[in-house]
Structure 1
């Protein structure tokens, strides 16, 4: 089985239908409008958000979140993953009635349980929600900077990239950068190439979440390649949300051919009827990638991971690859 690594997954969006059904029984909720025949059902972005919010609301305690992280990471390891980064949300924590610290500690506990069972390494990227506004994102950044949890290693921003000007969020990212956290930001998914270009100019991330709409501007693609920016591509998610009409029209192969560093991830896997394993299968079946190419995807993800040198070297050793200049 090919070894895999994932850089782009939202922890609340990783809850498998069977786990959500179990949580619904626990809290006397009816999952049938959102889950049928063991799968999430939705028809457009609005109904996707309704299903997502319903499921996320069923994780309310520290034990719930520990179970969620353990369940997801254990399933990833079963499919050959050796590393995973998940986006966490202080805003979800508050909505669930938990402090951001308790929420983070609980997810960390789930990560530790999964690691003890399977050996999978995992980290958290604390994430602000763009459409909640500048103050909310800065609050998330301040939490990320001060929480000092050993498994919190990055900061990012998700949410509707069509809302607000990216330069308004610069201070949030500077707070995180000054604390030594890795920086990533969602851009170039629902908005076009200009969103990616603005993120590079104002935020200066080492990675871009999605970034695939950069293909609309060849000069920007060259800029990304030359700068070594890593694109956290999520093909299954992109097709499910109609960012592109088909895998045949997905730009990952062209971005890769242009010299961009690309990885594949599952985003909100059960909602998009995907998994990290399926994303690797898509790369092979639809993008014509060989076993060697797939191994290179994993290596790129490990080299771009927000981890310390010792952890990176250990992960590369599991891949049978030496560290390059690290």
Structure 2
């Protein structure tokens, strides 16, 4: 029997960065619109060759990300980005998207962080009404900035907290996890949690299990962005599993940034067999050249996941999401229907293309 299409498997997408979600064609269009000269790596050489094994490698990654972010400057750009991210996820079977944004990155041309965030939220509501997907927003602070900036963002996120499409559903911490002191950001996360927001910091990709342990203790996460290197310590992995903290695993990111040399080295099977709650994510498709469905293809092709195991991963992504109950219920039913359906050779050919 032909394998079922991973693009039609209902799922949730919980790890997608705002600028990093851009289509490469859209980025080039926005660069022309704003007369921004893009680096060659975002033109003829795309997707770029990256590494984050050292500071120089991370600097190159950040330089490319900043070049892309410079092309997103006005309200129509932000709205286009949100709308296209939702459209792309719909095309890959996603029923719920949680997109992560630091509004300070777009504030200068829009009158401040509040109007920047409100534009994103408004378009997330609009896209959710127009498309068969719900879009929630995670406000994320940067490790490269002062912890006081994180507190300001947490207060902003708290003012827009909610539990549905077009609302802030969580608070995160992103950028190079080798920078900053994790415990210094704990007050910001306390502000967010008091407002009912979930804690979803990055940890355990560029640094190992000690960093995961520290994040678990100081930020009290509901999920970890990445967390894959918890496998390097049995005690830390057991703590993750026993605490029920879900892991947003992004295989394409792990390989592109040099955390693992090959897709086969990503410890997806180890995490699954340990009982971890896993939500596959694309992280930054703009720079890594692969999207959400590609992560499921990697699970199948590089780790030998059967369709039943892929369905379990999809259910796990819904489990780990902050989607409303009706969205979750419908997604679970449709995952079951996907698993009961016959494989579609024609759609498989599309997957393989």
Fold conserved between structures, TM > 0.5? yes
The counterpart of 1:5, out of the listed 4, 12, 16, is 12
Greater alpha carbon shift after TM alignment, 88-97 vs 254-263 = 88-97
1:316 aligns with 2:329: no
The counterpart of 1:129, out of the listed 139, 142, 154, is 142
Greater alpha carbon shift after TM alignment, 295-304 vs 267-276 = 295-304
Helix, strand or coil at the partner of 1:34: helix
Gaps of 5+ in 1: 322-326
Report the CA distance between 1:300 and its aligned residue. Answer: 1.2
Deviation >6 Å, runs of 4+: none
- Shift in CA distance, 88/63, structure 1 to aligned 2, threshold 3 Å: same
C-alpha RMSD over aligned residues: 1.9
The counterpart of 1:92, out of the listed 105, 112, 116, is 105
CA contact 1:154–1:184 (8 Å) conserved in 2: yes
Corresponding position of 1:268: 284
Query: C-alpha distance in 2, partners of 1:96/1:132?
Result: 20
- Shift in CA distance, 32/256, structure 1 to aligned 2, threshold 3 Å: same
Query: C-alpha distance in 1, partners of 2:128/2:190?
Result: 31
Gaps of 5+ in 2: 1-7, 51-56, 338-353
Aligned residues: 321
The counterpart of 1:45, out of the listed 58, 74, 84, is 58
Corresponding position of 1:251: 267
Report the CA distance between 1:94 and its aligned residue. Answer: 2.4
Report the CA distance between 1:112 and its aligned residue. Answer: 3.5
Query: C-alpha distance in 1, partners of 2:205/2:157?
Result: 25
Query: C-alpha distance in 2, partners of 1:254/1:275?
Result: 22
Query: C-alpha distance in 2, partners of 1:310/1:179?
Result: 23
Length-normalised TM-score, structure 1 = 0.92
CA contact 1:18–1:38 (8 Å) conserved in 2: no
Deviation by residue 1:213-263 (Cα, 9 ceiling, x = unmatched): 111101111111111110000000000000111122211111111111112
Helix, strand or coil at the partner of 2:279: strand
Query: C-alpha distance in 2, partners of 1:262/1:141?
Result: 26
Query: C-alpha distance in 1, partners of 2:16/2:269?
Result: 21
Query: C-alpha distance in 2, partners of 1:290/1:110?
Result: 37
1:193 aligns with 2:209: yes
Corresponding position of 1:19: 26
Query: C-alpha distance in 2, partners of 1:80/1:314?
Result: 13
Corresponding position of 1:234: 250
